[in-house]
């Protein structure tokens, strides 16, 4: 991972404007901080999606045959999957795909004892590239699961490509995907700017990671976390903004950061239900059902792969 991290970080930090790919936020510390964020009352997406899941799980359970293999993209702490595994008729296997390897293994070690009849298959992989399943589909077929509104971290073109890759990975399947539709600025500022003060630590951790894994010398205290709401397409961007000019070393190169210059560390695109369904259709998925929180501020979509 460090070679790719160094390569991508150098490309992003020598570009104008400066960026770091959001997928590198996710080491063990980043995953742990995010799990704490999910427990913050400010971070509404977790509460909204968690409230919708039991109804969705009951409906999916009526649709699939016994022995389904459930494949989760970006499984993190593997908490939401419990609602599905509890509802589905005798699931055969749970394939958990995540880029944060050590955290993934620990999450599966915690989950496995509660589901002794289900094969647990952790897959440490980057789903921004093609991922092959290491197991055959169970007798009940395949159910994909992509919660956490992570689809929003791709721009719309990349999100479409992700949905196409997921179609190839999952084959004939159903796919349950959570997509945030919130546009209320106050709510977004609380969730992405504050979340009990944890968001700043979550984003600064990417610099700590570059220092530890790539021998960089960023002074994290010289950066403050800021979020920006932008339109066309509507999105929330997270930035680390330099509070003073700095000269840093990374991979034998010099990175100059001017005072007030920012490094974009993540983006979260928001989708109306209709916009997401259009994206899914274009990628070969038919919308089958939709569960909505507060008139569309969060949407949980059930998609079916087109034959
Ligand atoms: C927003 S969290 C969602 C976690 C959990 N599914 C939930 O809903 O609470 C995103 C998860 O996706 C993983 N992730 C992010 N980018 C990834 C990538 N390119 N490939 C694989 N996993 C990724 C992160 O490690 C993290 O666990």
Alpha carbon 117 to chain centroid, angstroms:
28
**pLDDT of the residue at 194:** 83
Residue 242, in any domain of the structure? no
| Domain containing residue 290 | 1-217+273-307
Residue 6, pLDDT > 90, answer: yes
* pLDDT tens-digit map of 16-39: 999 999 999 999 999 999 999 999
* Averaged pLDDT score across all residues of the chain: 97
CA distance 8 to 5: 5
Average pLDDT over residues 257-266: 98
From the list 270, 261, 210, the residue with the least C-alpha distance to 239 is 261
Overall domain count for the chain: 1
Alpha carbon 266 to chain centroid, angstroms:
11
Residue 177, pLDDT > 60, answer: yes
Percentage of residues of the chain with pLDDT beyond 90: 96
Average pLDDT over residues 141-159: 98
Residue 125, in any domain of the structure? yes
Average pLDDT over residues 126-139: 95
Residue 118, pLDDT > 60, answer: yes
Domain of 205, CATH number, reads 3.40.50.150
CA 295 – ligand 1 centroid, Å = 26
Residue 74 CA: which ligand 1 atom is closest? 12
Residue 107, in any domain of the structure? yes
Residue 136, in any domain of the structure? yes
**pLDDT of the residue at 138:** 85
* pLDDT tens-digit map of 188-234: 999 999 877 899 999 999 999 999 999 999 999 999 999 999 999 99
Residue 156, in any domain of the structure? yes
CA 246 – ligand 1 centroid, Å = 31
CA distance 206 to 257: 16
Residue 86, in any domain of the structure? yes
The residue whose CA is least distant from atom 4 of ligand 1 is 76
The residue whose CA is least distant from atom 10 of ligand 1 is 74
Residues flanking ligand 1, CB < 6 Å = 23, 26, 31, 34, 38, 74-76, 80, 97-100, 126-128, 147-148, 150
- Contact predicate 174/302, CB 8 Å: yes
Residue 226, in any domain of the structure? no
Average pLDDT over residues 272-280: 98
Mutate to test the pocket of ligand 1, among 22, 78, 97, 99 (most ligand atoms within 8 A of CB): 99
Residue 22 CA: which ligand 1 atom is closest? 16
Residue 36, in any domain of the structure? yes
CA 249 – ligand 1 centroid, Å = 29
Residue 30 CA: which ligand 1 atom is closest? 25
Average pLDDT over residues 242-265: 97
Residue 1, pLDDT > 70, answer: no
Residue 91, pLDDT > 80, answer: yes
Cis ω before 17 (30° cut-off from 0): yes
């Amino acid at each position: 991972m460090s070679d790719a991290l160094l390569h991508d970080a150098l490309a992003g930090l020598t570009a104008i404007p400066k960026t770091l790919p959001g997928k590198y936020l996710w080491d063990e510390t980043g995953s742990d901080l995010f799990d704490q964020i999910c427990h913050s009352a400010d971070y509404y997406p977790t509460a909204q999606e968690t409230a919708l899941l039991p109804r969705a799980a009951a409906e999916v359970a009526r649709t699939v045959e016994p022995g389904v293999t459930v494949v989760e993209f970006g499984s993190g702490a593997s908490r939401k999957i419990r609602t599905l595994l509890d509802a589905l008729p005798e699931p055969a296997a749970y394939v958990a795909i995540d880029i944060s390897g050590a955290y993934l293994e620990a999450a599966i070690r915690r989950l496995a004892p509660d589901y002794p009849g289900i094969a647990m298959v952790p897959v440490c992989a980057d789903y921004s590239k093609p991922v092959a399943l290491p197991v055959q589909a169970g007798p009940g077929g395949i159910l994909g699961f992509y919660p956490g509104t992570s689809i929003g971290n791709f721009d719309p073109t990349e999100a479409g490509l992700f949905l196409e890759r997921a179609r190839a990975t999952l084959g004939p399947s159903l796919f349950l995907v959570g997509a945030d539709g919130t546009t209320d600025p106050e709510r977004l500022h609380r969730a992405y700017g504050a979340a009990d003060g944890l968001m700043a630590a979550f984003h600064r951790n990417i610099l700590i990671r570059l220092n530890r894994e790539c021998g960089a010398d960023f002074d994290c205290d010289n950066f403050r976390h800021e979020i920006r709401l932008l339109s066309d397409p509507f999105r929330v961007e997270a930035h680390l903004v330099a509070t003073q000019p700095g000269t840093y070393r990374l991979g034998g190169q010099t990175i100059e950061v001017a005072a007030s210059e920012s490094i974009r560390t993540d983006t979260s695109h928001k989708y109306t239900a209709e916009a997401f369904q259009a994206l899914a259709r274009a990628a070969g998925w038919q919308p089958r059902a939709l569960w909505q929180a507060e008139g569309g501020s969060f949407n949980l979509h059930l998609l079916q792969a087109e034959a």
